[in-house]
């Protein structure tokens, strides 16, 4: 589950991680009030107004139809009105959203951290995620923080440092100090960095994050270490332990079909192809998608109905797949281990009759427990459903359907 920047920062504060303070706003009036409060509370010369969407590249992205970036500096109240007015309700297009962009419903009005002081400021990159190959968490960091970290990783990979941490405990103090040394920090900045990284790692583990990225991690002119931006992903499987975090989910940022699929406990991911697929088991689903590709089609989705497929889940899967106008055929590939194939076949028939006339070809391959009974049910149903026993048969039928 993805979180907005303002939500992630509030969670980090609970772990004593210093952040750039800000207020989330849904209206221009709220943004004006936030500006007044931040100006009086922190003595900010200006505020930064940031669009809140689940995508990166906001600073380089633009609002459709307007000369307005997704992140902008407001130096006075008039700037706040204009910038917030341009962003709120607009569609922000970034390198990660694609041309469709995303609707902006909130902005974060944040304090100025680029104030003058005795030392130089510094932008740093830092992220924590799981390295599956090593079975450890990895902290990646660089002195070259800011909006172009992808270019740094591509052009000068030697500037990206990594620290692997065993997932069974806290961040060892020697590694926290090593990070500070590699970033070239000294004195109070070094001490503050050690505390920051230690607390950030605690937040990563405590919140069951799958990814936590701070870019930029900012060293102020008076040597404070502050998270200016934050991207946080939470492991969906851990949300039962974090009902407060689960309540932060913003379904308006998610694909509507994926949200609907979740209501029926279907594992669904929308793709860009022309063949819808409904399968029980993630491994079989991946193999089915490969088979669709090899047969000349393109998978339109990943849909795993799980091991307890029945008429209700099959019908829900049908309805979700049929919402995609690009779909030219549907392939149902079920291996009857826990689930009986005849029950799935009856579910297909019931769903077909419930939904009504379905114009596109439906190919059903059922193997395993009661597969022969299932094929007989399909063949005698009188429906425009084609059955297959072998995977090669199903592949040929898919090929004909999309040709």
Query: Is 152 annotated to bind ligand?
Result: no
pLDDT value at 255 more than 90: no
Residues whose CB falls within 8 Å of the CB of residue 182, separated by 6 or more in sequence, listed in order:
141, 161
141 in active site? no
Query: Is 236 annotated to bind ligand?
Result: no
* Residue 142 CA: distances (Å) to CA of 158, 161, 183, 201, 233: 9, 6, 7, 16, 21
Cα separation, 1 vs 7, in Å, equals: 12
99 in active site? no
pLDDT value at 389 more than 80: no
Name all domains of the chain by residue range, CATH numbers in brackets: 21-110 (3.30.1490.20), 122-246 (3.30.470.20), 256-402 (3.40.50.261)
Query: Is 229 annotated to bind ligand?
Result: yes
* pLDDT confidence tier of residue 376, bands split at 50, 70 and 90: confident
pLDDT value at 356 more than 90: no
- Counting residues of the chain whose pLDDT is more than 70, the rounded percentage is 99
Query: Is 59 annotated to bind ligand?
Result: yes
* Residue 200 CA: distances (Å) to CA of 11, 37, 118, 125: 11, 27, 26, 13
pLDDT value at 57 more than 70: yes
Total Cβ atoms within 10 A of residue 337: 13
Q: Which secondary-structure segment (H or E) carries 368?
A: strand 362-368
Average pLDDT over residues 248-261: 87
* pLDDT confidence tier of residue 355, bands split at 50, 70 and 90: confident
Provide the pLDDT for residue 131: 95
* pLDDT confidence tier of residue 291, bands split at 50, 70 and 90: confident
Query: Is 340 annotated to bind ligand?
Result: no
Specify the range with the lowest mean pLDDT, choosing from 37-46, 118-127, 346-355: 346-355
Query: Is 337 annotated to bind ligand?
Result: yes
Cα separation, 186 vs 189, in Å, equals: 6
Specify the range with the lowest mean pLDDT, choosing from 137-146, 186-195, 309-318: 309-318
Query: Is 334 annotated to bind ligand?
Result: no
- Counting residues of the chain whose pLDDT is more than 90, the rounded percentage is 53
Residues whose CB falls within 8 Å of the CB of residue 239, separated by 6 or more in sequence, listed in order:
1, 245, 246
What predicted TM-score, i.e. pTM, was given to this entire model? 0.82
Provide the pLDDT for residue 370: 81
Query: Is 69 annotated to bind ligand?
Result: no
* Residue 71 CA: distances (Å) to CA of 53, 126, 229: 11, 20, 11
Provide the pLDDT for residue 372: 83
Average pLDDT over residues 192-220: 97
Determine which one of 35, 213, 315, 352 is catalytic.
213
Average pLDDT over residues 168-194: 95
Provide the pLDDT for residue 112: 92
Query: With b meaning 16 or more CB within 10 Å and e meaning fewer, what string describes 6-39?
Result: bbbbbbbeebebbbbbbbbbeebebbbebbeebb
Total Cβ atoms within 10 A of residue 306: 16
Query: Is 280 annotated to bind ligand?
Result: yes
Here the tokens at position 171 are 């961040």
pLDDT value at 382 more than 90: no
Determine which one of 125, 141, 201, 352 is catalytic.
125
How do strand 47-51 and strand 71-74 relate by DSSP bridges? antiparallel
pLDDT value at 402 more than 80: no
Provide the pLDDT for residue 307: 66
């Amino acid at each position: 589950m993805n979180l907005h920047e303002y939500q992630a920062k509030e969670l980090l504060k609970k772990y004593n991680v210093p952040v750039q303070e800000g207020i989330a706003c849904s209206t221009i009036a709220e943004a004006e009030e936030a500006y007044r409060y931040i100006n009086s509370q922190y003595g900010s010369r200006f505020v930064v107004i940031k669009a809140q969407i689940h995508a990166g590249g906001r600073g380089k992205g633009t609002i459709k139809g307007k000369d307005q970036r997704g992140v902008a500096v407001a130096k006075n109240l008039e700037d706040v009105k204009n910038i917030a007015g341009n962003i709120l309700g607009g569609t922000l297009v970034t390198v990660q959203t694609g041309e469709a962009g995303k609707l902006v419903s909130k902005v974060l009005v944040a304090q100025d951290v680029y104030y003058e002081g005795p030392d130089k400021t510094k932008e740093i990159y830092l992220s924590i995620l799981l390295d599956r190959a090593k079975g450890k968490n990895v902290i990646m960091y660089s002195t070259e923080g800011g909006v172009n970290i992808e270019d740094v990783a591509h052009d000068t990979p030697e500037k990206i440092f990594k620290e692997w941490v065993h997932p069974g405990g806290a961040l060892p103090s020697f590694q926290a100090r090593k990070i500070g040394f590699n970033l070239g920090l000294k004195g109070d900045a070094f001490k503050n960095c050690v505390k920051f990284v230690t607390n950030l790692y605690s937040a990563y583990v405590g919140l069951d994050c799958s990814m936590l990225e701070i870019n930029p991690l900012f060293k102020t002119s008076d040597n404070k270490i502050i998270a200016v931006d934050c991207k946080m992903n939470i492991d969906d499987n851990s949300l039962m332990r974090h009902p407060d975090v689960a309540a932060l989910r913003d379904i308006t940022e998610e694909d509507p079909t994926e949200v609907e699929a979740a209501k029926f406990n279907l594992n669904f991911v929308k793709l860009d192809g022309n063949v819808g697929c409904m399968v029980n088991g993630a491994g079989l689903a991946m193999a089915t998608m490969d088979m669709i590709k090899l047969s000349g089609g393109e998978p339109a989705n990943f849909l795993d109905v799980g091991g307890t497929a029945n008429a209700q889940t099959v019908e829900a899967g049908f309805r979700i797949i049929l919402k995609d106008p690009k779909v030219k055929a549907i392939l149902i590939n079920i291996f009857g281990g826990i689930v009986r194939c005849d029950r799935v076949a009856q579910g297909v028939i019931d769903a077909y009759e419930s939904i009504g006339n379905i114009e596109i070809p439906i190919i059903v391959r059922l193997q395993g427990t009661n597969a022969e009974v299932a094929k007989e049910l399909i063949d005698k149903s009188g429906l425009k459903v084609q059955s297959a026993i072998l995977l090669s048969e199903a592949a040929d039928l898919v090929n004909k359907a999309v040709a």
